[in-house]
Amino acid sequence: MSLSTDFIVIGSGVAGLRAAIALAEAGAQVTVLTKDKASESNTEYAQGGVAVVLSDDDRAELHEGDTLIAGAGLCDERAVETLVTEGTRYIKQLIEWGTEFDKEGGNLVFTQEAAHSRRRILHANGDSTGAEFVRSLIARAGREPSISLLPFAATESLLTADGRCTGVRYLDPILRAPREVFAKAVILCTGGAGQLYQHTTNPPVATGDGMAMAYFAGADMADMEFIQFHPTALSLEGAPRFLLSEAMRGEGGILRNAQGVRFMGRYDERLELAPRDIVSRSIVAEMRRTGSRTVFLDMTALEGDFLRHRFPKIDETCRALGLDIAKDMLPVSPASHYCMGGVRTDLWGRTTLPGLYAAGEVTCTGVHGANRLASNSLLEGLVFGARAGEAAASDSGQLSVVSGRSEARNEVAENKRKPALSTAVRKRVKRVMWERVGILRDRESLRRAIAEFDQIAKANLSTASRNFVTLAGLVAAAAFWREESRGGHFRTDFPEQEEAFRAHSIQRLGDAITSSERIDPGE
């Protein structure tokens, strides 16, 4: 059975919801497919806040400069300029739509995070900014009768015809049977792939399916080697990794080693406010030096009432695990957090596959370069989600929906359906990624990882398992190709930046890795 709609949006985080609203405002019928409930996405778990130029002492040029520095020479400057200038307008619009950021005396409260030169981070309910984004955007989308939300509908593959994306195949949430839905265009907003790693701050849905589906459909991928590891994930035996926001260090938190000694001065003059990649590597180095499995985040110099008000969700979670953030040293270690690379797009969300658009963490717009600046991700999803929706509506105005014929390229013995993702495959891939394609990389570890992923891929896998192992292979192959250290990618055998690699890695189905000096901004 097949259905049709004007546009399909896959994902209901900030990028997906904002794209759907833009399409609805253009008069289109929009179907939003989500793997889980509508509110379950990486956006929901974003704690720290959103970076935006709104305070009196800030300027767009400063925000742009901070982003370019963090990106280690690989940012597309026009993409960054678009982000920081249009971001202000879209955040003001969110506030008009009812998004409630924290205030004191009626004025917005700004905080500072690592590598920002100004206090420009807005937050909501202390440390629940992402949840407030989702709440307000779902409410706004609910006022558009042309938007239909279809939760618990796991998309399995993109459909193409005559070199154009024409729809998706998904798993019916009630009948658990494959269904097809056709549209003028598809917008991928499926988020990142933190679940590729054994230790991650990402929710279970962040398995990178959108990236893999785009790759199999023929779209270009860019900069897949650049994975950001968050330095401070709560690390307790038997408990899942829980993100301890960057803002905790921004408010004065100190990192101490197993002996209780502050150690960041040994690695970087910016101490705890150095960029995330530096702090993560410093923590790994300190754990190895001291023979410990964690370091500690010390917030005890701050008032308990302030901490409980500023970080209510973190406080609640830590208390449930027997920790008081105002009194106890919090055991932390790095965990995978964000993908700087993804589906290659221009500044309007257009991928290299006609009819396929993308926004948010699933993409590589060139905004983040080799390392994302803290709290730029919500802003990116908001700005480029809106732009992708507007572009899809404008580009597809004269098109009609083509249904009934497709060239889905990600078919793997679907007549013998298996569980959505083999537990054994998932566990093995996650372990290999953590041990061999993690924070510190080298040629031999990457070679062994690639060989193992190639072997796993030869098995008769379900679509989800094949997506998972294919994506892991793309990250490992790109990391093997980049013989330098830059941003979130660190090679112990090539520890310096090399000018020859000041380029984007480009991966395309059936082709060897190539490079591009810059991503076409598409203006």
H/E/C letters for each residue in 427-444?
HHHHHHHHHHCCCCECHH
The CATH number fitting domain 232-336, selected from 3.40.50.300, 3.30.2320.30, 3.90.700.10, 3.50.50.60 = 3.90.700.10
2-6+18-184+340-395 carries CATH number 3.50.50.60: yes
Task: Give the Cα separation of 378 and 401 in Å (integer).
Answer: 32
> Which one has a higher pLDDT value, 40 or 110?
110
Q: Which two tokens stand for residue 196?
A: 């590729």
Residue 336 near residue 227, CB atoms below 8 Å: yes
DSSP state letters, 209-267: HHHHHHHHHT--EE-TT-EEEEEEEE--TTS--EE--HHHHHTT-EEE-TTS-B-GGGT
Contacts of 448 (CB under 8 A, 6+ apart): 436
pLDDT band at 522 (very low <50, low <70, confident <90, very high): very low
Res. 91: pLDDT tops 90: yes
Predicted pLDDT at 377: 93
Q: Which two tokens stand for residue 256?
A: 């101490």
Average pLDDT over every residue of 40-52:
67
Going from the C-alpha of 294 to that of each of 237, 240, 250, 285, 340, the distances in angstroms are: 11, 15, 20, 11, 26
User: pLDDT tens digit string along 131-140?
Assistant: 899 899 999 9
Residue 256 near residue 287, CB atoms below 8 Å: no
Predicted pLDDT at 480: 98
Q: Which two tokens stand for residue 37?
A: 């409930």
Q: Which two tokens stand for residue 368?
A: 């983040």
Tell the residue number behind the tokens 């994975």, with chain if given: 227
Is 516 exposed, middle or buried, given 0-12, 13-18 or 19+ CB atoms closer than 10 A? Answer: middle
Predicted pLDDT at 46: 54
Residue type (1 letter), 28: A
17-52: b (≥16 Cβ within 10 Å) or e: bbbbbbbbebebbbbbbbbbebbbbbbbbbbbbbbb
Instruction: Tell me which DSSP letter residue 415 carries.
Output: G
Predicted pLDDT at 212: 97
Predicted pLDDT at 485: 97
Domain ranges of the chain: 2-6+18-184+340-395, 232-336
- Closest of 267, 327, 270, 3 to residue 114, by C-alpha: 270
Torsion, CA 14, CA 17, CA 21, CA 23, rounded to 10: 110
Active-site residue among 18, 78, 276, 350? 276
User: pLDDT tens digit string along 305-338?
Assistant: 999 999 999 999 999 999 999 999 999 999 999 9
What sign does the dihedral 407-188-205-370 (CA atoms) show? positive
User: pLDDT tens digit string along 435-479?
Assistant: 999 999 999 999 999 999 999 999 888 888 999 999 999 999 999
Residue type (1 letter), 57: D
Res. 397: pLDDT tops 80: no
Instruction: Tell me which DSSP letter residue 167 carries.
Output: E
Residue 127, helix vs strand vs coil: coil
276 is catalytic: yes
Residue 463 near residue 421, CB atoms below 8 Å: no
- Helices and strands (DSSP H and E) totals, the chain: 13, 24
> Which one has a higher pLDDT value, 172 or 188?
188
Predicted pLDDT at 409: 47
User: pLDDT tens digit string along 326-384?
Assistant: 999 999 999 999 999 999 999 999 999 999 999 999 999 999 999 999 899 999 999 99
pLDDT band at 513 (very low <50, low <70, confident <90, very high): very high
